[in-house]
Structure 1
Amino acid sequence: MNHLQDVSAVTVDRSPRCGLVRRLFKGFWQGLERARTRRLLAQLDGRDLADLGLSHADRLNELEKPFWR
């Protein structure tokens, strides 16, 4: 029985690069999502903004932000 391998404790070898790639991809995806929602926000009229509880100044403030923030 010495030739049997103990498989009771399974370990996953994750390199630091895997985490870096995952964080970069996540940040890129979030930036695209922010850009998409800001494009939608830019299309809203005053009535839609009032329904959301936003002012025109709030909208302009949000639209001036870069996609990474």
Structure 2
Amino acid sequence: MERTLSSDLLFQNSSEESRTSFPLRVISNLMLWQRRIASRHQLARLDARLLADAGISEAQRCEELSKPFWR
């Protein structure tokens, strides 16, 4: 005899997973945003010589710095 899972059980498991993973996704996003903010602050402090060493043009720097932290 073959055993099957009811759709109710599958739905409950997926909703439980989404409830526990939601806080993790929020924390993960906050950490990502913080890293972006920090790296853009560092990028803003680079002088022309360091930008050239990194292979970044002034236009690329301006483009990156103009982005909001969530992008």
TM-score, normalised relative to structure 2: 0.75
For 1:17 and 1:52, locate their aligned partners in 2 and report how far apart those are by CA, in whole Å: 42
For 2:22 and 2:65, locate their aligned partners in 1 and report how far apart those are by CA, in whole Å: 29
Identity %: 40
Bigger radius of gyration among the two: 1
| Alignment pair present for 1:49 and 2:27 | no
Q: Which has the higher contact order (CA 8 A, sep 6+)?
A: 1
Unmatched 5+ residue regions in structure 2? Answer: 1-12
Amino acid at match of 1:35: I
Moved over 6 A (4+): none
- Paired residue total: 57
Structure having the larger proportion of residues in helix? 2
Unmatched 5+ residue regions in structure 1? Answer: 1-12
RMSD: 1.5
